[in-house]
């Protein structure tokens, strides 16, 4: 009895120690890279100043957040009042947390109703956003569910039998669920649209409008994007009530992203890319093509050139897309070739180079593409391969964005995009225990023979090198050189993989990351070695959550 | 395409003669159409001049190979059987590539044994010098040891496996193609060379089977010799009849070689060909006229561009070679030539279109046999032994060994000129010319400058101004699609796909990773807008963004 009392007393005193709770948090290594004023020009608020729950603050700090970014600083207090919000901020400056934090704050864990819907235009973005919700809301005891097309509807229906406080998803599936009465938004006070202008494209708008009919009239609607074209204004006028406008974009482009063009003939593009690979110090890169066919073709060529890459586009099966996304985020592969599917919202901090293998047709696409590098005010490089036909687009986009794309110089200053301590670059947060379990279960049902399909590693070559005869997609990098450096994530720590360091030879204009001695032909980047593969044959390790589509 | 094989085809040649026969094969590599049991219906008044009309014949020609680019129109009629007869004289039509007894099928859907093939093949092997100038210079062979000095002239047999495993360090130096292929019109195409080499491969293949029986290791220098003893072709070397045209026509690779490679590599061949061309020169032969005058006038510039590396590359060869033939009725006005030009392009396009849909099988056939000396074929596991298995008709984009020279490439593009061009054309609203500052902020990059001094200039208020409006007016998808007109080519539409395939071939040497059939009918861009409810369930692959 007395012991119990003592314990109770002890507990009381612990929770009463205000100063200590923060010190005991396990925040990831601090990201020490310099940042631009895109994220540093704040009023100086702290998260503690925002009047949010202790548990939420814990999640925020454990996720490695330090201080609110400008958009978070501006948005969170207003959002907590329940007012409609129209917010505009540059790519990668913290919009997601700016709406997730107030949503988490306002959710009542004791209610079993769905209390916030977060709509996003792509499935990958849904996964990413739900992951942020889960990470930040880790200590809140709430249930976040992600649901997208391309997955079984039945599973989603079953999951919705439980209390789901925050639902994240893509419009079509959400509308399906709402239409079936499975998802109940009748008392859902928060409706959030991320990449709102994309969600207001002609094919999505009718869905959104139908969906809004399921919501109470006095809901809070919040729209976020870096681009708000005039054509979507009518939607705001119709569905938002005196929205509070937050616009933090003095100009459109990110300050940390240096943009270059390389003038090429179409047939020289692959050669040009090859040279870029050899000369740039790519931590991770995203390479954009203008069609799905070209994504696959380029991925194939890159593989033939001896570099590894993933590719992703909308015509792939969803579980393949998820795997690619998950693995690339975790730094399994250095290069990702993709279509405009991943143009928006995708946040991979380790990406320091974006290459427009095909120049985009409009300024909006261009802006979002190059915004895949230079995340959260960091530095990055955008390189555009321009052919003769692209020249008017180049001019147009420069004009419209008010930016200048310069010819690629013989020497690209490393300071513009290379970091000395990449090991502190944040990685996606590790999944929770429940997610791990779920991921494991999912893996068992995952067809193993599909695991290679979109991981365009040079398998043959690999096989050639390692002579294991296995064509499995290798998970563990034998040679750290090839592994991108997204940082010392918990997983790599656990596996004892040291943060790779790249020697930069002094010779040559461009630093050649691949000139190290372990290079087989002094040209080809080192490959993964199958023999060092310790994980599951499908490439996942047990402790690393697979892409959990509807993980909760 | 195979579904059309065996159906009865009505074909109008450039000479306006209509032929009806059973489709034996469409060879996209050589861009030829082969018909069996062909009946010529003459010009049927298409020439518009009774004096020039050619009457129909009752004869049935066993097997005629038509040059694809000389085919004006091709229609499928209902399948029908016709009685067989011995083929007498073939009409004098340059479109006829070859008229023989129907050759045996080598592969399923086989390649018609082309005469040039036997011709070329021995040449290929016997004349080492020719290898350089030949289909493509050997440096380009993907499997070629990347370190080796260029031009050793060995074709490492069976390197294809390695080829994909090694980084494609094609040793083809950039300037090489220019030297080796003196192409008339366009700048040297992709340093790939398959445009020329591939068809050759295709033709080099049959000889292994065809030569034997024939027992004539022909040489390229005597193409005529071997043309003449054709079994069923009327062999009378009378000037007005077949031999001359058929020599010229039946030898597309030879002529290509002449144009593309032989001048440098195998000079001894040239006289031979010239001689050959000269012989029938007094007649209206495609050979003489075509080779001398007209070829450059024809749209080489555009045609190879469209067709270069892979799929449509096939059509390129015939175009060059056939342009000659096409122009056979020589004294044509310039306008006519232009017509021809357009038509040739059109047909080349048609054939290339045809090709995409049925190429796999053939490509496989080609690859299966030419693998011995042409390692370029994709050693994917898709080649499942059989001829028809989904062979990836991929050609390596050959990467020059050296680094891409950004400086000199960028020197070709002057942004200031672009601004002038834009202002002149007024396609893009002429705006204040950008301030071009040369310094680039060391740490913060371009943005800083914009902020520093040029903000007002760089950021025309027409597109985005925070002060003026929350909303921007930059070009975006929503806007583009709102403004899209009915007549615009829809993304994912047939025309769009065709253009994309062309571009892909130029960039990657192939149109798509799997021959291009996969995405058809999957509901591209256009499919997104409609039926958003219905389309959402279970069609994972189909739904969503068409990116």
How confident is the model at residue B494, as a pLDDT? Answer: 85
CB-CB neighbors (< 8 A) of B397 in chain A: 267, 270-271, 301
Q: What is the pLDDT of residue B98?
A: 61
Q: What is the mean pLDDT of residues B311-334?
A: 39
pLDDT of residue B3: 64
B-chain CB neighbours of A269 within 8 Å are 507
pLDDT confidence band for B102 (50 / 70 / 90): low
> Is A208 among the domain residues?
yes
Within 10 angstroms of residue B279's Cβ, the number of other Cβ atoms is 18
Percent of chain B residues past pLDDT 70, beyond the cut: 27
Cα B456 from Cα B462, distance rounded (Å): 11
Residue A339 clears pLDDT 50, i.e. is over it: yes
Residue A62: the pLDDT is 94
Q: Say yes or no for a CB contact (<8 Å) between A293 and B536.
A: no
Answer whether residue A39 shows pLDDT above 70.
Answer: yes
- Kindly list the residues from chain A whose CB atom is less than 8 angstroms away from the CB atom of residue B478: 197, 200-202, 229, 231-232
The answer to whether residue B229 scores a pLDDT higher than 60 is no
Q: Identify the top-confidence range among A7-11, A12-16, A239-243, B237-241.
A: A239-243
Question: Strand A220-225 and strand B71-77: pairing?
Answer: unpaired
Q: Chain A closest CA to B540's CA: distance in Å?
A: 4
Mean pLDDT of A462-486: 33
Closest residue by Cα to residue A325 from A317, A336, A314: A336
pLDDT tens digits, residue range A68-79? 999 999 999 999
User: Which pLDDT score, from 0 to 100, does residue A1 have?
Assistant: 61
Per mean pLDDT, which of A40-54, B334-348, B422-436 is the most reliable? A40-54
Percent of chain A with pLDDT over 90: 69
Residues A487 and A413 in one domain: yes
d(CA A352, CA A276): 13
For B309-318, what is the mean pLDDT?
Answer: 36
Kindly determine whether residue B404 and residue A272, on different chains, have CB atoms separated by under 8 Å: yes
- CB distance B44 to B379 below 8 Å: no
Give DSSP secondary structure letters for A13-64.
HHHH-TTHHHHT--PPPP------HHHH------GGGG---HHHHHHHHHTT
pLDDT confidence band for A509 (50 / 70 / 90): very low
Asked if B446 lies within 8 A of A253 by C-beta distance, the reply is: yes
Measured at the CA of A133, the angle between CA A132 and CA A134, to 5 degrees, comes to 90
Q: What are phi and psi of A85, to 5 degrees?
A: -135, 140
**pLDDT at B382 exceeding the cut of 60:** no
Cα–Cα dist B85/A390, whole Å: 58
B404, B466, B535: residue with CB nearest A268: B404
Choose from A272, A394, A402 for mutation: most chain B CBs within 10 A: A402
SS3 B291: helix
Q: Is the pLDDT of residue B121 over 70?
A: no
Co-location of A223 and A274 in the same domain: no
Tally the domains of chain A.
2
Q: Percent of chain B beyond pLDDT 90?
A: 5
Q: Are B201 and B141 in contact (CB under 8 A)?
A: no
> A258, B446: Cβ pair inside 8 Å?
yes
Cross-sheet strand order for the sheet of A380-386: A406-407, A257-263, A380-386, A351-356, A284-288, A335-338, A309-312, A455-456
Which one of B478, B488, B504 would you mutate to disrupt binding with A, by most A Cβ within 10 Å of its Cβ? B478
For residues A183 and A267, membership in a common domain is answered with: no
pLDDT at A12: 56
Contact A551, A439 (CB under 8 A): yes
Lowest mean pLDDT among A14-18, A298-302, A340-344: A14-18
> Is residue B48 within 8 Å of residue B79, measured between CB atoms?
no
CB contact under 8 A, A255 and B444: yes
Higher pLDDT, B529 or B47: B47
- Does residue A252 form part of some domain? no
Q: State pLDDT tens for residues B142-171.
A: 333 333 333 333 333 333 333 344 433 343
Average pLDDT over residues B528-538: 39
Q: Give A185-215 pLDDT, tens digit per residue.
A: 999 999 999 999 999 999 999 999 999 999 9
Low-confidence winner among A220-234, B59-73, B287-301 (lowest mean pLDDT): B287-301
Instruction: Write the DSSP symbol of residue B70.
Output: G
Cβ–Cβ gap A249/B427 under 8 Å:
no
> Where does a domain end: A219, A247, A275?
A247
ipTM above 0.85, yes or no: no
Q: Which of B450, B544, B547 sits opposite A149 (nearest CB)?
A: B544
Asked if residue A488 has pLDDT above 50, the reply is no
Q: Least CB-CB distance to B165: which of A254, A401, A461?
A: A461
- Say if the Cβ atoms of B419 and A395 lie within 8 Å: yes
Q: Which pLDDT score is estimated for A362?
A: 95
Which range is least confidently modeled, A22-26, B206-210, B330-334? B206-210
Q: What angle do CA B128, B129, B133 make, to 5 degrees?
A: 115
Contact (Cβ atoms closer than 8 angstroms) between residue A238 and residue A75: no
Co-location of A240 and A268 in the same domain: no
Q: Which residues of B touch A179 (CB under 8 A)?
A: 533
Q: Is the pLDDT of residue B103 over 70?
A: no
No. of H helices and E strands in chain B?
Answer: 22, 6
How would DSSP label each residue in A203-265?
Answer: TTHHHHHHHHTTS-TT-EEEEEES--BGGGHHHHHHH-SSPEEEE--SSSS-TTEEEEEEE--
Instruction: Note whether B477 contacts A201, CB cutoff 8 Å.
Output: yes
Identity of the highest mean pLDDT range in A304-313, B261-270, B385-394: A304-313
Provide the residue range defining the domain that includes A380: 257-424+456-539
From B203's Cα to the closest Cα of chain A, the distance in A is: 26
| Contact check, Cβ <8 Å, B477/A249 | no
User: Which residues does chain B have within 8 Å of residue A257's beta carbon, measured at their own beta carbons?
Assistant: 445-447
Residues on chain B touching A121 (C-beta within 8 angstroms)? 545
Evaluate whether residue A443 is within a structural domain: no
Q: Which of A36-45, A213-222, A298-307, B38-47 has the lowest mean pLDDT?
A: B38-47
From chain B, the residues in CB contact with A364 under 8 A are 474-477
Other CB atoms within a 10 A radius of the CB of residue B343 amount to: 16
Domain boundary among the residues A247, A265, A293 is at A247
Alpha-carbon distance B488 to nearest alpha carbon in chain A (angstroms): 15
Least confident of A368-377, A446-455, B512-521: A446-455
pLDDT at residue B209, rounded to an integer: 38
Do A115 and A73 lie in a common domain? Answer: yes
Give chain A positions within 8 Å (CB) of B308.
267
Is the per-residue pLDDT at B33 higher than 60?
Answer: yes
What is the pLDDT averaged over residues B513-522?
52
User: Do A267 and B506 count as a contact with CB atoms less than 8 A apart?
Assistant: yes
Smallest Cβ–Cβ distance between B409 and the set A175, A263, A397 belongs to A263
Q: How far apart are CA A158 and CA A91, in angstroms?
A: 35
Q: How far, in Å, CA of B25 to CA of B21, rounded?
A: 11
Count of pairs with CB atoms under 8 A, one residue in A, one in B: 323
Q: How far apart are CA A222 and CA B155, in angstroms?
A: 65
Q: Are the Cβ atoms of A402 and B516 closer than 8 angstroms? A: no
CA distance A63 to chain B (A): 27
With an 8 Å Cβ cutoff, are A396 and B475 in contact? Answer: yes
Whether CATH 1.10.1040.10 fits B2-66: no
Instruction: For residues A63 and A61, give the distance between their C-alpha atoms in angstroms, rounded to a whole number.
Output: 5
- Written as six digits, the tokens of B298 are 């024809």
CB contacts of B536 in chain A (<8 Å) are: 149, 172-173, 175-176
Q: Dihedral sign for Cα B192, B195, B198, B204, please.
A: negative
- pLDDT, tens digit (0-9, with 9 covering 90-100), for B446-466: 333 333 333 334 445 689 999
The pLDDT value recorded for residue A100 is: 97
Residue A319: HSE in the Cβ half-sphere, 13 Å Cα cutoff: 16
Of the pLDDT bands very low, low, confident and very high (cuts 50, 70, 90), residue A31 is confident
* Residues A196 and A317 occupy one common structural domain: no
Query: How many angstroms away from the CA of B167 is the closest CA of chain A?
Result: 4
**CA A380/CA A256 separation, integer angstroms:** 6
Q: Is the pLDDT of residue B377 over 60?
A: no
Residues A147 and A239 in one domain: yes
Residue that wins the pLDDT comparison between B2 and A467:
B2
A73 and A188 share a domain? yes
Query: Which residue, among A213, A297, A357, would best test binding to B if mutated, counting the most B CBs under 10 Å from its CB?
Result: A297
Q: Between B428, B472, B510, which is nearest A229 by CB?
A: B472
- pLDDT band for position B122 (50/70/90)? very low
Shortest Cα distance, chain A CAs vs residue B165, angstroms: 4
Per-residue confidence (pLDDT) for residue A181, from 0 to 100: 94
Q: In what order do the strands lie in the sheet with A85-88?
A: A144-147, A166-169, A116-119, A190-194, A220-225, A85-88, A244-247
Which is more confident, A523 or A472? A523
Report the pLDDT value the prediction gives residue B78, as an integer from 0 to 100. Answer: 64
3-state secondary structure of B14: coil
Q: Nearest CA to CA, how far is A3 from chain B (Å)?
A: 58
Q: Do A175 and B533 touch (CB under 8 A)?
A: yes
Min CA distance, A36 vs chain B (Å)?
A: 7
Task: Identify the residue among B458, B518, B528, B544 best suited for mutation to test binding to A, counting A beta carbons within 10 A and taking the highest.
Answer: B544
Please enumerate in sequence order all residues whose Cβ is within 8 A of that of A219, keeping only pairs 6 or more positions apart, or say none: A188, A189, A190, A191
| B545 to chain A: closest CA residue | A314
- Judge whether A551 lies within some domain: no
**Which of A179, A213, A247 lies at the terminal end of a domain, its last residue?**
A247
Looking at beta carbons, which residues of chain A come within 8 Å of B512? 293, 296-297
One DSSP character per residue, A439-463 reads: HHHHHHHS-GGGTTTTEE--HHHHH
Supply the mean pLDDT for chain A. 80
**Taking CB atoms and an 8 Å limit, are A251 and B447 in contact across chains?**
yes
Dump pLDDT digits (tens) for B383-412. 343 334 334 444 555 778 889 999 999 999
Contacts of B447 in chain A (CB under 8 A): 36, 251, 253-257, 403
Q: What is the C-alpha to C-alpha distance for residues A527 and A459, in angstroms, rounded to an integer?
A: 10
Report the pLDDT value the prediction gives residue B22, as an integer from 0 to 100.
Answer: 83
Co-location of A216 and A71 in the same domain: yes
A233 and A320, same domain (yes or no): no
Residue B215, min C-alpha distance to chain A (Å):
41
Place of tokens 């004289």: B89
Least confident of A376-385, A460-469, B126-135: A460-469
Q: Kindly state the DSSP code that residue A424 receives in the 8-state scheme.
A: G
Q: Is the pLDDT of residue B323 over 60?
A: no
CB-CB under 8 Å, B413 with A402: no
Sequence-ordered list of residues with C-beta below 8 angstroms from that of A125, at least 6 positions apart, any chain: A194, A195, A344, A345, A346
Q: What are the tokens at A61?
A: 């700090």
Residues in A touching B455 (Cβ below 8 Å): 250-251, 402
Instruction: Compute the nearest-CA separation of A213 from chain B (Å).
Output: 15
**DSSP label at B188?**
P
Give me the CATH number covering residue A380.
3.40.50.300
- Lowest mean pLDDT: which of A230-234, A416-420, B133-137, B425-429? B133-137
Reduced to 3 states (helix: H, G, I; strand: E, B; else coil), residue B295 is helix
Domain spans of chain B?
A: 2-66
Cβ-nearest to B474 among A170, A256, A364: A364
Does residue A244 carry a pLDDT above 50?
yes
What pLDDT score was predicted for residue A439? 55
The answer, yes or no, to whether residue A529 has pLDDT greater than 70, is no
SS3 (DSSP) at B36: strand
């Amino acid at each position: 009895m007395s012991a119990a009392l003592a314990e109770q007393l002890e507990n009381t005193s612990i929770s009463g120690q205000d100063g200590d709770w923060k010190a005991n948090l396990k925040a990831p290594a601090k990201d020490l890279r310099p940042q631009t004023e895109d994220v540093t020009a704040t009023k100086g608020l702290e998260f503690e100043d925002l009047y949010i729950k202790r548990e939420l603050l814990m999640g925020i700090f454990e996720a490695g957040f330090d201080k609110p970014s400008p958009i978070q600083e501006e948005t969170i207090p207003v959002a907590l009042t329940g007012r409609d919000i129209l917010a505009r901020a540059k790519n990668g400056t913290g919009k997601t947390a700016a709406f997730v934090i107030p949503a988490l704050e306002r959710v009542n864990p004791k209610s079993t109703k769905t209390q916030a819907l977060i709509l996003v235009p792509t499935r990958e973005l849904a996964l990413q956003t739900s992951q942020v919700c889960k990470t930040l809301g880790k200590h809140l005891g709430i249930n976040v569910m992600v649901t997208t097309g391309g997955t079984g509807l039945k599973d989603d229906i079953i999951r919705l039998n439980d209390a789901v406080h925050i639902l994240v998803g893509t419009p079509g599936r959400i509308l399906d669920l709402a239409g079936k009465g499975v998802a109940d938004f009748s008392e859902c006070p928060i409706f959030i649209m991320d990449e709102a202008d994309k969600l207001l494209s002609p094919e999505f708008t009718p869905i959104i409008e139908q969906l809004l009919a399921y919501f109470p009239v006095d809901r809070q609607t919040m729209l976020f994007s870096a681009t708000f074209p005039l054509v979507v204004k009518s939607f705001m006028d119709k569905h938002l009530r005196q929205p509070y406008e937050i616009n933090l974009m003095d100009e459109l482009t990110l300050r940390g992203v240096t943009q270059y063009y390389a003038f090429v003939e179409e047939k020289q593009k692959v050669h040009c890319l090859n040279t870029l690979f050899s000369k740039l110090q790519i931590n991770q890169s995203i390479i954009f093509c203008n069609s799905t066919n070209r994504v696959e073709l380029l991925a194939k060529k890159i593989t033939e050139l001896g570099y590894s890459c993933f590719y992703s586009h909308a015509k792939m099966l969803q579980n393949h897309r998820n795997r690619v996304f998950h693995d690339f985020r975790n730094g399994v592969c250095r290069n990702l070739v993709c279509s405009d599917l991943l143009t928006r919202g995708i946040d991979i901090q380790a990406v320091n180079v974006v290459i427009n293998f095909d120049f985009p047709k409009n300024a909006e696409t261009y802006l979002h593409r190059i915004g895949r590098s230079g995340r959260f005010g960091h530095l990055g490089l955008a390189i555009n391969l321009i052919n003769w036909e692209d020249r008017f687009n180049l001019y147009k986009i420069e004009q419209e964005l008010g930016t200048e794309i310069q010819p690629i110089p013989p020497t690209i200053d490393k300071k513009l995009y290379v970091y000395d301590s990449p090991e502190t670059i944040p990685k996606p947060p590790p999944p929770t225990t429940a997610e791990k379990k779920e991921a494991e279960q999912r893996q068992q049902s995952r067809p193993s023979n599909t695991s290679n399909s979109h991981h365009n590693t040079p398998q043959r070559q690999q096989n050639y090198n390692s002579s294991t005869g296995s064509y499995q997609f290798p998970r563990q990098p034998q040679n750290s050189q090839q592994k991108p450096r997204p940082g010392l994530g918990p997983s790599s720590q656990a596996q004892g993989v040291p943060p790779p360091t790249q020697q930069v030879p002094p010779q040559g204009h461009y630093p050649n990351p691949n000139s190290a001695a372990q290079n087989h032909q002094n040209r080809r980047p080192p490959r993964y070695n199958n023999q060092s593969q310790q994980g599951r044959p499908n490439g996942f390790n047990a402790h690393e959550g697979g892409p959990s589509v509807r993980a909760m | 395409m195979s579904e059309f094989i065996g159906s009865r085809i009505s074909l109008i040649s450039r000479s306006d003669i209509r032929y009806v026969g059973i489709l034996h094969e469409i060879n996209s590599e050589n861009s030829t159409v082969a018909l069996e049991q062909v009946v010529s219906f003459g010009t049927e008044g298409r020439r518009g001049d009774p004096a020039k009309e050619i009457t129909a014949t009752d004869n049935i020609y066993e097997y005629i190979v038509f040059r694809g680019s000389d085919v004006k129109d091709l229609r499928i009629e209902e399948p029908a059987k016709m009685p067989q007869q011995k083929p007498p004289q073939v009409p004098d039509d340059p479109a006829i590539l070859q008229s023989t007894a129907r050759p045996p099928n080598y592969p399923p859907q086989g390649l018609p044994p082309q005469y040039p093939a036997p011709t070329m093949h021995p040449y290929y092997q016997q004349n080492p010098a020719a290898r350089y100038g030949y289909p493509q210079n050997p440096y380009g062979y993907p499997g070629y040891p990347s370190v080796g000095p260029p031009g050793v002239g060995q074709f490492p047999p069976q390197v294809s496996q390695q080829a994909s495993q090694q980084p494609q360090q094609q040793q083809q130096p950039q300037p090489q193609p220019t030297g080796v292929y003196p192409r008339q019109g366009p700048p040297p195409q992709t340093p790939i060379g398959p445009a020329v080499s591939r068809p050759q491969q295709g033709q080099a293949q049959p000889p292994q089977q065809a030569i034997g029986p024939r027992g004539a290791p022909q040489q390229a220098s005597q193409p005529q010799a071997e043309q003449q003893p054709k079994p069923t072709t009327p062999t009378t070397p009378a000037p007005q009849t077949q031999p001359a045209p058929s020599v010229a026509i039946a030898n597309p690779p030879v002529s290509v070689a002449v144009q593309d490679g032989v001048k440098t590599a195998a000079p001894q061949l040239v006289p031979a060909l010239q001689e050959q061309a000269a012989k029938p020169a007094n007649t209206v032969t495609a050979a003489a006229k075509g080779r001398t005058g007209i070829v450059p006038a024809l749209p080489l510039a555009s045609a190879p561009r469209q067709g270069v590396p892979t799929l449509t590359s096939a059509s390129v060869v015939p175009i060059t070679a056939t342009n000659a033939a096409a122009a056979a009725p020589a004294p044509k006005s310039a306008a006519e030539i232009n017509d021809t030009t357009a038509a040739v392009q059109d047909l080349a396009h048609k054939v290339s279109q045809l090709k995409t849909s049925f190429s796999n099988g053939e490509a496989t056939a080609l690859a299966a046999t030419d693998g011995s000396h042409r390692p370029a074929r994709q050693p994917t596991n898709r080649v499942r032994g059989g001829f028809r298995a989904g062979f990836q008709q991929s050609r390596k984009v050959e990467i020059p060994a050296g680094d891409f020279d950004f400086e000199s490439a960028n020197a070709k593009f002057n942004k200031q000129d672009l601004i002038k061009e834009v202002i002149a054309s007024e396609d893009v609203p002429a705006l204040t010319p950008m301030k071009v500052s040369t310094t680039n902020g060391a740490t913060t990059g371009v943005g800083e400058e914009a902020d520093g001094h040029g903000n007002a200039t760089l950021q025309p208020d027409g597109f985005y101004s925070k002060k003026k409006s929350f909303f921007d007016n930059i070009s975006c998808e929503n806007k583009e699609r709102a403004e899209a007109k009915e007549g615009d080519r829809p993304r994912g539409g047939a025309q769009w796909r065709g253009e994309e395939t062309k571009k892909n071939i130029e960039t990657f040497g192939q149109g798509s990773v799997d021959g291009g059939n996969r995405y058809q009918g999957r509901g591209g861009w256009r499919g997104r807008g409609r039926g958003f409810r219905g389309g959402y369930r279970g069609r994972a692959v189909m739904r969503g963004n068409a990116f």
